């Protein structure tokens, strides 16, 4: 089992540790409900050092990524990031990830940082390297073993981070990033997140991330900061209707089916999986991911069958009793002609068909998000 550089701190905080994607990770400290509420109302701090980090560079690095990713990295300016997906040859999804445009190399060629899911590091690295054609100058450096990452999420995140850095985090735009000292160590700070709240991710070398964590915990004491684990991370992202690989996304599921068509840019010279993605974008997919609320008693769980029109129609990909909304909610795939807002579904919960209604995505939107 792999351990992040913050493992000893998690133990000192009394975290309950679990196996996740080959890592021993905290699932909760004070409890999922308390950690979820802290992120929604104040600020939470997550260790996400199990995520993978790749640096892509070289004369043809940008061209390779334009082919290999659904979004268009050529649209990024230095200091910008974007959400994107890594499609396979038949338009399914190898992974979803964040791409960052770093400063150009000395030869003036673009350099990119990719942050990928922990469970897919080896698969993503091998697939991306396989997209480099003979004669192309493109190099992927896997830095996953050297870099660590923490996520500071919640309405008080800017105030906490501002106390630990001279970077102007208040003016940093969404999906923008900067480099500078945090807690006296070099770091990359981005304003992104996976919870539906404002927040930042701070990346530093393994040897330095402990100082970052300690400084944020100390600065957050006055703001109600709560260390948070994988349990709250999952409940928060479900309320925000954010996909998780292995749930809403997999090798057979396309970005279009998952409702992520805005991250598929077809106006590029080439793209892996383009035929299916272009067809589904033009004609619509045969099935769609929907968000639904239970109108009967019961909590939907991954794998439960979804019925529509009196027949089995799909299955739940994620579900829970929403801590913020106080209602049972879920996501899943149904035929496109059954996916309209307000449509009636039923979820098979231990042999009982419990009614549900399709609702708009996301379930939760922070008050200042418009």
- Second CATH level (architecture) for the domain 7-49+146-239: 2-Layer Sandwich (3.30)
Quick: pLDDT tens for 76-110: 999 999 999 999 999 999 999 999 999 999 999 99
183 to each of 178, 216, 275, 282, how far by Cα in Å? 15, 8, 48, 49
Contacts of 305 (CB under 8 A, 6+ apart): 312, 314, 315, 316, 347, 348
Per-residue pLDDT at 370: 52
Per-residue pLDDT at 145: 96
CB neighbour burial string for 96-111, b if at least 16 within 10 angstroms, e if fewer: bbbbbbbeeeeeeebb
Residues facing residue 270 across a β-bridge: none
Token pair 């209707």: residue? 241
Task: Assess contact for 23 and 50: CB atoms under 8 A.
Answer: yes
- State the fold for domain 286-369: Elongation Factor Tu (Ef-tu); domain 3 (2.40.30)
For the chain, the domains span 7-49+146-239, 52-142, 286-369
How far apart CA 79 and CA 91 sit, in angstroms, is: 29
Closest C-alpha among 77, 123, 138, 69 to residue 97: 69
Residues facing residue 254 across a β-bridge: none
Q: Has residue 367 got a pLDDT over 90?
A: no
What average pLDDT is seen over the chain? 97
Average pLDDT over every residue of 274-296:
98
Quick: pLDDT tens for 154-172: 999 999 999 999 999 999 9
Burial (CB count <10 Å: 0-12, 13-18, 19+), residue 241? buried
Task: Determine how many CB atoms are found less than 10 A away from the CB of residue 8.
Answer: 11
Quick: pLDDT tens for 231-272: 999 999 999 999 999 999 999 999 999 999 999 999 998 999
DSSP 170-206: TTPPTTBEEEEEETTEEEEEE---SSSS-EEEEEEET
Per-residue pLDDT at 368: 80
Task: Assess contact for 293 and 327: CB atoms under 8 A.
Answer: yes
Closest C-alpha among 173, 230, 331, 178 to residue 17: 230
Quick: pLDDT tens for 183-236: 999 999 999 999 999 999 999 999 999 999 999 999 999 999 999 999 999 999
- State the fold for domain 52-142: Alpha-Beta Plaits (3.30.70)
Per-residue pLDDT at 45: 98
């Amino acid at each position: 089992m792999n351990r992040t550089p913050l493992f000893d701190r998690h133990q000192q905080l009394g975290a309950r540790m679990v196996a996740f994607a080959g890592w021993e990770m905290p699932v909760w400290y004070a409890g999922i409900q308390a950690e979820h509420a802290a992120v929604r109302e104040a600020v939470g701090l997550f260790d996400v050092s199990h995520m993978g980090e790749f640096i892509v560079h070289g004369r043809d690095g940008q061209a390779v990524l334009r082919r290999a990713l659904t979004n268009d990295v050529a649209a990024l300016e230095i200091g910008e990031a974007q959400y994107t997906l890594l499609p396979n040859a038949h338009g399914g999804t190898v992974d979803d990830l964040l791409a960052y445009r770093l400063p150009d190399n000395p030869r003036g060629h673009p350099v990119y940082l990719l942050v990928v899911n922990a469970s897919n590091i080896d698969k993503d690295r091998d697939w991306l390297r396989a997209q480099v054609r003979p004669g192309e100058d493109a190099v992927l450096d896997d830095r996953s073993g050297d870099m660590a990452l923490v996520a500071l999420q919640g309405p008080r995140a800017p105030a906490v981070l501002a106390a630990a850095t001279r970077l102007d985090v208040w003016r940093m735009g969404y999906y923008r990033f900067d480099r500078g000292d945090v807690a006296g160590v070099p770091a990359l700070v981005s304003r992104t997140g996976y919870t539906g709240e404002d927040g930042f991710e701070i990346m530093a070398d393994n040897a330095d991330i402990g100082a970052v964590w300690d400084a944020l915990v100390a600065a957050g004491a006055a703001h109600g900061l709560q260390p948070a684990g994988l349990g709250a991370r999952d409940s928060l992202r479900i309320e925000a209707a954010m996909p998780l690989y292995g749930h809403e996304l997999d090798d057979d599921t396309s970005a279009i089916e998952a409702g992520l068509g805005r991250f598929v840019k077809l106006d590029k010279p080439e793209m892996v999986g383009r035929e299916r993605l272009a067809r589904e974008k033009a004609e619509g997919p045969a099935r769609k991911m929907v968000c639904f609320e239970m109108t009967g008693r019961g909590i939907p769980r991954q794998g439960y069958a979804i019925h529509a029109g009196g027949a089995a129609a799909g299955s739940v990909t994620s579900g829970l009793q929403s801590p913020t909304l106080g209602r049972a909610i879920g996501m899943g795939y149904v035929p496109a002609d059954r996916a309209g807002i307000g449509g009636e579904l039923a979820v098979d919960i231990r042999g009982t068909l419990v009614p549900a209604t399709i609702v708009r995505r996301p379930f939760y939107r922070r008050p200042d998000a418009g």
